[in-house]
Amino acid sequence: MRKKTVIFCTILFFTFILSACQSSEWNSQQEREQINNNQEDEAIETNASKEKVLVTLMNSEGMQVATATLTEKDTDGVHIVLEGENLPPGEHGFHIHEVGECIPPDFESAGGHYNPTNSKHGFEHPEGPHAGDLENIVVNEDGTVYAELDAPMVSLKRDHENTLFTKAGTSLVIHANPDDYISQPSGNSGKRIACGVIGE
Ligand SMILES: [Cu+2]
């Protein structure tokens, strides 16, 4: 009888120790998760204070073909991530235009390039480029495109002299042909095949 009691007590003791250990482990895991959550919250807050602008581009038939995400860089300028589909394969001129209006099919409503510094068009022009000049994009054979570009002369800050939030607004335009980076006024990039208003 006594022996049984001892065994019972021993089992009870170890069960207690084991469960105590497990619960402290569980607690520290919870703490870790809490810390992770806090870090994520902080990251989100930092991004929120940095403006992020989503632009939807449509083609001449009014069909959505691309989205661009614009973020203010820590250094000067705006970073653009462009993702698209159903576009003609090959190299295309891509610019920021000076009016925030995209009326299909020709998108002439978007006006010329955004050019607050009154410069000439093209990275290779001695008096260039326009603030709205961007590198050409390359659409894959399947019509998709992914491009990351920088527009170092513009800003999403509303009080910046080269802000993209002007009275007339601004837009992103994809052209039919590549920009040669020197011809006036638009690098010989041809028709406008897609357009999206910035900040709409
Ligand atoms: Cu253009």
Amino acid at the residue 29: Q
Give ∠ CA 132-149-97 in degrees, rounded to 5. 20
Find the 93 Cα to ligand 1 centroid distance in Å: 7
Find the 124 Cα to ligand 1 centroid distance in Å: 16
199: number of Cβ within 10 Å: 18
CA distance 69 to 59: 18
Find the 115 Cα to ligand 1 centroid distance in Å: 11
Find the 74 Cα to ligand 1 centroid distance in Å: 26
Find the 73 Cα to ligand 1 centroid distance in Å: 23
Q: What is the pTM of this model?
A: 0.76
Find the 173 Cα to ligand 1 centroid distance in Å: 5
Find the 48 Cα to ligand 1 centroid distance in Å: 30
Find the 105 Cα to ligand 1 centroid distance in Å: 15
pLDDT (tens digit, 0 to 9) for every residue of the chain, 200 residues total?
455 555 444 444 444 444 444 545 545 555 555 545 555 544 444 444 467 899 999 999 999 999 999 999 988 899 999 999 999 999 999 999 999 999 999 999 999 999 999 999 999 999 999 999 999 999 999 999 999 999 999 999 999 999 999 999 999 999 999 999 999 999 999 999 999 999 87
CA distance 45 to 147: 26
Find the 142 Cα to ligand 1 centroid distance in Å: 23
Outline where DSSP puts E strands in the chain.
52-59, 64-72, 78-84, 90-92, 94-97, 137-139, 145-151, 170-175, 192-198
